[in-house]
Structure 1
Amino acid sequence: MIVTPEGPGLTFLIVISLLLVVATIAIILRIWARLEINAFGADDWLMITGWVFFTLCCIADYFSISYGVGAHVERLTEHQMQQAFKWFLIAGVAYVAATAPVKASICVLIMRISTNRIHHWILYGVIFASTAGSIIRICAFLGRCHPVEAAWDPSKGKCGSPEIMTHVAYFFGALCIATDWICAVIPVFVVWNIRLTWKAKVYVGIMLALGVLASIATIIRMRYLLAYQSPHDRVYGLTDIAIWSEVECCIGIVAGSLATMRPLLRYLRFLGIATQSSRSAESKLPHKLQTLRRPRRTNPSSALQNSYHVMVEAIGDRRGGADDIESDGGSQKHILPERRLEIVKGTQIQVTVDAKNEVDDMEVNPIR
């Protein structure tokens, strides 16, 4: 029998629904942006893997809510409580499994735009620590009870002390906070040394550093971990832990994806959303084509017409594809290609004289 969610259960249902929608939109836009510039890489596959586990986590949360997570124990039957614990445990395993690839994706993204070996070694350490921490916590989840079914049905076997879950959760939370801050600080140094406009540097740096928000969610979650040890009304207090766990994971997915979406900004111009300041800023970029013109006078009675224009155009080979220019917020080394510039000046002169002197109009052809 399905339990109608109320209070914390209803809040939990609404929050995870919103988080799943936001994370899914972020992944779709990320895939679109990467395909636009033909730069789909390992970081994208890792983020998609993290999103898959996050989706499984939310699905398990839906089942746990339907069986009574967030409801007081007096509203539930023994079977409902067992199923609620079962699906909550499955959701917890999926959440932990999602954190490792999400963190690894952000690290690989930073490594793709960094050439500093020290940064690479630090990021490899973050990937290793995140993966090891996830494995340890999953083993603690599944190994506390023998067999595993005893975690939600004590009649099936024996379980260790609930303090094991609390201690492992604190360890995993501290590890997440440390790795989140490392992934937020390193991009500042990486972007500082990349040949980008300062606005592009600010955009990429802020997007990558949004992972700091995930650490805030982790800190908030840690204050609710004592619910694991609560002997009474346990299913009622588990929602706070789950909500902040899912918030943390969703922030990681969104923050890691936003930094790759800059190529999609050009579509804002097609929708008429681009502001005048953004257009003027783009016209100042050194990799854009620009044309300088002096208006031509068309009055035939003028004694002398001297009109000219200077056109700056890019020639020569490029190191990237046709859309590399749109990827300056993406994760590519040599984000802006080097180009040679050539100035072409064309001058046209028309001389008008008396009828006594039959002088044809004279034109000076453009000289390169």
Structure 2
Amino acid sequence: MPPNTLGPALEKGIWVAVVIAAVIVVLRVFAKFQIKRVGIDDGLMILAELLAIASTVFLSLSVKHGFGTDLYSMPRKDLQDVLKYIAIQVPLVTLSTTFARSAFILYLLPLLGTNKYHQAALWTVLIIQFGANVASAVLPLSICRDVAALWDAEVAATTSCGDSDAVFRFAYFSNTFNSATDLFLAVFPAVVFWNLNLRLRIKIGLIILLSLGVFAMVASIIKTTKLNSVPSITNMGAAGGIELIRWGYIENVIIIITSSIPCIRPLVISSVRKISSGKFTHTDEPSTPAGGSPSVGPKEAKESPHARGFDPDVEDSSVDRILDDTRSVHTSTSVEGAESPSFESPDFKKDAGISVITGAGQSVTEPRSNL
């Protein structure tokens, strides 16, 4: 049997990707815990990552027995083990991807407010993709009376099985719907958030963060084109289905990572700010005049947050907090006075007055008369 080079290379690459995804999920939960917003979506994402790790363990076992080489050239025992571990890991990856995608939809639901059409669209997509993928994961394992028929030719010859073509057709349907779902989840938030009353810089940043799922759509499409190469007793070849397995894991990891990145936005921005401020502190120490207090030079003034037109309270916040603040501006009438608290931002005037939010969404400020 020729040396196995494809299998070990695939195994190493997938393990690296799964570990990176695990780190991102940990940061996600930490960030959500800090703002006290840990929810069901985080539990589903943790479950998705655990399933991804479990499936990668079975990938390692299949590579150990020769996965990545010509299945026809394997000893019978190794062939059975490879097919068995593949039959186990494929449903695990499918379920992991399903839970991760569902977690992202649940994360989006409160962000999009209470618009009943938005809510109905997301719930419909969630239910259909969840049901279709669970069925797609279970059907291959239940198509034969004896599940060992999936990896043992002798058992397959003595047991009855259902229509494998129907299972393949359903797999094509579910994977095609997954690709469409990933596209929908990338475009839908962009359309909704574009109409929000946010700074253009923040708006574009949020749209990019919440539209990263387009990469998952590409991986899903490529995986769908490889479905006919799934390894089985009746489908063995030189490639051994390695490309199908590769793109299945790529889709899975991309969804876990891209669905969690929006949640760790405050951590990333905070870390960058600390690194930047440390750099300025060490390289541009302010001089101290005879009076005792350090003077602020033009460089320091230029680098200050407000001099750059930067509002830390807004730009350091999590996505959901930013949108909460935006909704409060749209749905409330604020009265600003000399002693009343106000939402300080360069976009709002600091003059005392009455700010009225009109029905058209425009703010009209009426100056207060002098008393």
TM-score normalised over the length of structure 1: 0.74
Name the structure 2 match of 1:245. 248
Per the TM alignment, residue 19 of structure 1 is displaced from its structure 2 partner at its CA by 1.5
1:227 aligns with 2:226: no
Name the structure 1 match of 2:319. 329
Deviations 1:278-313 (A, max 9, x none): 96578524575xxxxxxxxxxxxxxxxxxxxxxxxx
Name the structure 2 match of 1:178. 180
1:108 aligns with 2:98: no
Name the structure 1 match of 2:11. 13
> What number of residue pairs does the alignment pair up?
307
The answer to whether the 8 Å contact 1:166/1:229 transfers is: no
Q: 1:285–1:268: structure 2 CA closer, same or farther, 3 Å change rule? A: closer
Name the structure 2 match of 1:138. 137
Q: 1:148–1:332: structure 2 CA closer, same or farther, 3 Å change rule? A: farther
Name the structure 1 match of 2:272. 268
For 1:129 and 1:218, the matched residues in 2 are separated by 17
The answer to whether the 8 Å contact 1:5/1:68 transfers is: no
1:198 aligns with 2:185: no
Deviations 1:113-169 (A, max 9, x none): 112221111100111011111122123211222211111113223444543443232
The answer to whether the 8 Å contact 1:263/1:328 transfers is: yes
Identity of aligned residues (%): 23
Per the TM alignment, residue 190 of structure 1 is displaced from its structure 2 partner at its CA by 2.7
Name the structure 2 match of 1:208. 210
Q: Which runs of 5+ in 1 are unaligned?
A: 289-323, 345-368
Name the structure 1 match of 2:338. none
For 1:91 and 1:5, the matched residues in 2 are separated by 23
1:119 aligns with 2:121: no
Per the TM alignment, residue 229 of structure 1 is displaced from its structure 2 partner at its CA by 7.7
Of 309, 322, 328, which aligns to 1:284?
Answer: 309
The answer to whether the 8 Å contact 1:259/1:330 transfers is: no
Deviations 1:81-119 (A, max 9, x none): 111111101111101111222111111111121122211
Which structure has greater strand proportion?
A: 1
Deviations 1:306-361 (A, max 9, x none): xxxxxxxxxxxxxxxxxx874343467514677527989xxxxxxxxxxxxxxxxx
Which region of structure 1 is more displaced relative to structure 2, 164-173 or 146-155?
164-173
Q: 1:63–1:235: structure 2 CA closer, same or farther, 3 Å change rule? A: farther
User: In the alignment, residue 272 of structure 2 is paired with which amino acid?
Assistant: L
Which runs of structure 2 are paired with 1:155-166 in the superposition (5 Å)? 155-156=154-155, 157-160=159-162, 162-166=164-168
Name the structure 2 match of 1:56. 54
User: In the alignment, residue 79 of structure 2 is paired with which amino acid?
Assistant: M
For 2:2 and 2:38, the matched residues in 1 are separated by 43
For 2:92 and 2:133, the matched residues in 1 are separated by 10
For 2:14 and 2:311, the matched residues in 1 are separated by 44
1:65 aligns with 2:67: no
For 1:41 and 1:254, the matched residues in 2 are separated by 17
User: In the alignment, residue 64 of structure 1 is paired with which amino acid?
Assistant: S
For 1:232 and 1:179, the matched residues in 2 are separated by 29
Name the structure 1 match of 2:299. none
For 1:281 and 1:78, the matched residues in 2 are separated by 70
Per the TM alignment, residue 177 of structure 1 is displaced from its structure 2 partner at its CA by 0.8
Q: 1:80–1:287: structure 2 CA closer, same or farther, 3 Å change rule? A: closer
SS of the residue corresponding to residue 112 of structure 2 reads coil
Q: 1:284–1:274: structure 2 CA closer, same or farther, 3 Å change rule? A: farther
Name the structure 1 match of 2:289. none
User: In the alignment, residue 224 of structure 2 is paired with which amino acid?
Assistant: M
Which region of structure 1 is more displaced relative to structure 2, 127-136 or 278-287?
278-287
Q: 1:341–1:137: structure 2 CA closer, same or farther, 3 Å change rule? A: closer
User: In the alignment, residue 183 of structure 2 is paired with which amino acid?
Assistant: W
User: In the alignment, residue 47 of structure 1 is paired with which amino acid?
Assistant: M
For 2:321 and 2:71, the matched residues in 1 are separated by 50
For 2:256 and 2:133, the matched residues in 1 are separated by 17
The answer to whether the 8 Å contact 2:45/2:256 transfers is: yes
User: In the alignment, residue 210 of structure 2 is paired with which amino acid?
Assistant: L
For 2:305 and 2:342, the matched residues in 1 are separated by 23
Per the TM alignment, residue 29 of structure 1 is displaced from its structure 2 partner at its CA by 1.5
The answer to whether the 8 Å contact 2:231/2:241 transfers is: no
Per the TM alignment, residue 11 of structure 1 is displaced from its structure 2 partner at its CA by 2.8
Q: Which runs of 5+ in 2 are unaligned?
A: 281-301, 330-340, 345-349, 352-371
Per the TM alignment, residue 195 of structure 1 is displaced from its structure 2 partner at its CA by 4.2
User: In the alignment, residue 27 of structure 2 is paired with which amino acid?
Assistant: L
SS of the residue corresponding to residue 230 of structure 2 reads helix
